[in-house]
Chains A and B, each alone.
Chain A
């Protein structure tokens, strides 16, 4: 039987170990410790099953796989629904589990009455119906959407004991299909003076954000479909602005208007909300890009490791600047690192699943992941981020946003009992 030599401290194995070792490796690592059981015919094999529904849902045994709600009674304030990353294993977030933030509830829009206006510094102001847009040549792309405030609890001066859903659940990934905005602006014509596009929603807050025209012409789309079906109400049905890799709030949902201007509007969300304060007292503005980031989803807080042996470490990496080039994983708090396997296809500005086999010896371990993108950006350590951005003056509730745009490393500590805790390391 082949012997498995760790490639980094605390039992991290070569990412290709399974490919090389095959079944013998799996057998050696599991050790077949469980007792054999006598297999029986179960009730579901002895009678026909239930009616096939017109719109399928998950198994009744998967009721725990849901988003967590910050405002379940719909009080007059923002509602957040966070994606349960620890219970998902791929890269496409199921539509019902895609994170949602709605500042005035989910608008319930009759698509026949919805209009998209393009005006301002254009040659021909135009209005489009949803039906008209559905006749345009479309493009599809996988891209993540991440709230600028995702991972904000990481600014806490003490590590908050919360799971990956609570810490990083305001990011999700889907295949979006729609009409490139460059196509629509070609039809409206663009006045050479135009530098910005102010996007506005049809929802009750009429949320608006200013977007540089260069981004709009680069890769922005009016998204009509999400993972093949029409965009969900919480994602802006019947249409949303999609700005791949850019701050979630700018991906205006229920999109009804695009006004081309020379300068930004300095709306509430750009002038006030998404302007993180720096230790100097000044604040960043227009922090457009969701920078390179990764976090481990398994094992993670809330899971119990069932004794020493083989585990697969798995997580998500993404960058608003491009493709993930590599993800390094550490099991000893960053002293030594091993390269994780990246699940193909690795797509630009999209979730990338990474995995690495791990032989846990039952002792203390601190698991970390660190991603690098193809533009040369490296995910910072928490210490590196805090040195520039500062940290909160006190431990905040986990649903509060002491700052924004945290893309540093997350550390999970595994103790000898198999419990997983959030630590700063």
Chain B
């Protein structure tokens, strides 16, 4: 006679779930080209690095067309400047709003340049991140941005947020 626990064991099975199991197991190496999420603590940041001076040259070639000279804005958003937030419809900028420096790296690497995303090397993304941070005077002109230094850049508005549904956002207060 089956006991309840024996039944449960049979249902759960020793290794695989009772579903169709039509996925293909993959290794981390197989996923490397897609594995581009960067977390605020720096998890996921790749090797390499770059400086603002290197970033300025790349910026002029690949970004200025939309974001304007000195990253002050063109047909698309300004990347430099921190106008005070005085109303609910204030312009959100990297320096007045973005809470984490890692988001800059993550977003450039996944989405930019708009016409040619995923075309930049990791060094180029680091350099552009350094350029934007330096133009905003959030790091020094000579600072190197890499996997160790970037997560340590504290953004001015880091504590400017309130979780709307705190019970649904595990761990967010601890970030």
A185-211: contact bitstring with B at CB < 8 Å (1 yes, 0 no)?
A: 011110000011010100011111000
| Nearest-neighbor residue (CB-CB) of A391 within chain B | B88
- B residues within 8 A CB of A188? 23
The A-contacting residues of B in range 38-88, CB under 8 angstroms, are 38-41, 43, 66, 75-76, 85-88
The A-contacting residues of B in range 93-150, CB under 8 angstroms, are 97-100, 102-103, 106-107, 110-111, 114-115, 117-118
Interface residues contributed by chain A, number (CB under 8 Å): 73
User: Is B2 an interface position by the 8 A CB rule?
Assistant: no
- A residues within 8 A CB of B31? 117, 119, 125
Cross-chain contact A136 with B100 (CB below 8 angstroms): no
User: Is A184 an interface position by the 8 A CB rule?
Assistant: yes
Cross-chain contact B24 with A263 (CB below 8 angstroms): no
Cross-chain contact B98 with A206 (CB below 8 angstroms): no
Cross-chain contact A261 with B26 (CB below 8 angstroms): no
The A-contacting residues of B in range 147-175, CB under 8 angstroms, are 160-165, 168-172, 174-175
- A131–B169 CA distance with the chains assembled, in angstroms: 34
- A403–B39 CA distance with the chains assembled, in angstroms: 26
Among candidates B21, B102, B160, residue contacting A187 with C-beta atoms closer than 8 Å: B21
Minimum C-beta distance from A264 to chain B (A): 7
Cross-chain contact B26 with A127 (CB below 8 angstroms): yes
Among candidates A137, A212, A268, A286, residue contacting B106 with C-beta atoms closer than 8 Å: A268
User: Is A183 an interface position by the 8 A CB rule?
Assistant: yes
Cross-chain contact A186 with B25 (CB below 8 angstroms): no
Tell me which of B16, B37, B103 has the highest count of chain A C-beta atoms within 10 A of its own C-beta: B37
- B residues within 8 A CB of A136? 19-20, 22
Among candidates B26, B39, B111, B172, residue contacting A205 with C-beta atoms closer than 8 Å: B111
Cross-chain contact A195 with B175 (CB below 8 angstroms): no
Cross-chain contact B30 with A281 (CB below 8 angstroms): no
- A403–B76 CA distance with the chains assembled, in angstroms: 19
Minimum C-beta distance from B45 to chain A (A): 12
Cross-chain contact B160 with A286 (CB below 8 angstroms): no
Cross-chain contact B168 with A288 (CB below 8 angstroms): yes
- A residues within 8 A CB of B170? 195-196, 212
Among candidates A187, A198, A286, residue contacting B19 with C-beta atoms closer than 8 Å: A187
User: Is A357 an interface position by the 8 A CB rule?
Assistant: no
- A392–B87 CA distance with the chains assembled, in angstroms: 7
Cross-chain contact B17 with A76 (CB below 8 angstroms): no
- A197–B85 CA distance with the chains assembled, in angstroms: 31
Cross-chain contact B160 with A206 (CB below 8 angstroms): no
| Nearest-neighbor residue (CB-CB) of B109 within chain A | A206
Tell me which of A76, A207, A263, A396 has the highest count of chain B C-beta atoms within 10 A of its own C-beta: A263
Cross-chain contact A285 with B88 (CB below 8 angstroms): no
- A281–B87 CA distance with the chains assembled, in angstroms: 7
- A403–B36 CA distance with the chains assembled, in angstroms: 29
B7-35: contact bitstring with A at CB < 8 Å (1 yes, 0 no)?
A: 00000000011011111111110110011
Minimum C-beta distance from B162 to chain A (A): 5
Cross-chain contact A206 with B168 (CB below 8 angstroms): no
- A76–B23 CA distance with the chains assembled, in angstroms: 36
Cross-chain contact B102 with A285 (CB below 8 angstroms): no
Given contacts A271-B100, A284-B164, A392-B88, contact A265 B39 (CB under 8 A): yes
Given contacts A204-B111, A284-B161, A286-B163, contact A212 B169 (CB under 8 A): yes
| 21 A-B interface contacts by CB (under 8 A) | A76-B114, A77-B75, A119-B26, A124-B25, A155-B88, A186-B19, A195-B171, A204-B117, A259-B37, A263-B40, A263-B171, A265-B38, A266-B100, A266-B102, A268-B106, A271-B98, A272-B97, A277-B87, A288-B164, A289-B165, A393-B90
Query: A127-B23, A188-B23, A265-B37 provided; 5 other pairs, C-beta below 8 A?
Result: A76-B66, A124-B25, A204-B117, A267-B103, A391-B88
Q: Which residues of B are interface residues toward A (Cβ below 8 A)? A: 16-17, 19-28, 30-31, 34-41, 43, 66, 75-76, 85-90, 92, 97-100, 102-103, 106-107, 110-111, 114-115, 117-118, 160-165, 168-172, 174-175
